[in-house]
Amino acid sequence: MGTKKLFYSLSSPSTNFLIVGDDRYFLLTVANGVPIFVPDRCPHRGGPLHLGKFVEDGRKIKCPWHRYCWRKESIERKFLPVIVNRQCLTLAIPKNGNKEMKIKEIHKAFML
Ligand code: FES
């Protein structure tokens, strides 16, 4: 049985950060016009990857907490599926049980 999803349409094209319940997602890149939102938790100990830096010609992301580097493509694999319908972008966000999840959209400056 797969993970339940919450379908959420972004209200603004400038949104690049989402807070969903206890989880955070940031816009890592845009591929073929499709935004790639990924979890903002470093695989090591949950550091804020959106505050990291691209290194090795953009192939890796250096976490700001312990400075481990992660391949960008391994982070990209955790992307939120997105449905593009004209100007509307709808993200499929993993749902944590039946709990109601508050979603907050943010536009913020990244260090990446
Ligand atoms: S939390 Fe990212 S390197 Fe430790």
Domain layout of the chain by residue ranges: 5-106
Distances (CA, A) of 19 to 32, 39, 59, 86, 103: 24, 10, 26, 24, 6
CA distance 66 to 44: 9
CA distance 83 to 107: 20
Q: Does the pLDDT at position 2 exceed 90?
A: no
Q: Ligand 1 mean position to 75 CA, how many Å?
A: 13
Contact 62, 55 (CB under 8 A): yes
Q: Ligand 1 mean position to 57 CA, how many Å?
A: 20
User: Which tokens is 75 given?
Assistant: 């982070």
At 67 the pLDDT is 97
What is the domain class of 5-106 according to CATH? Answer: mainly beta
- What tens digit of pLDDT does each residue of 14-35 get? 899 999 988 999 999 999 889 9
pTM of the model: 0.90
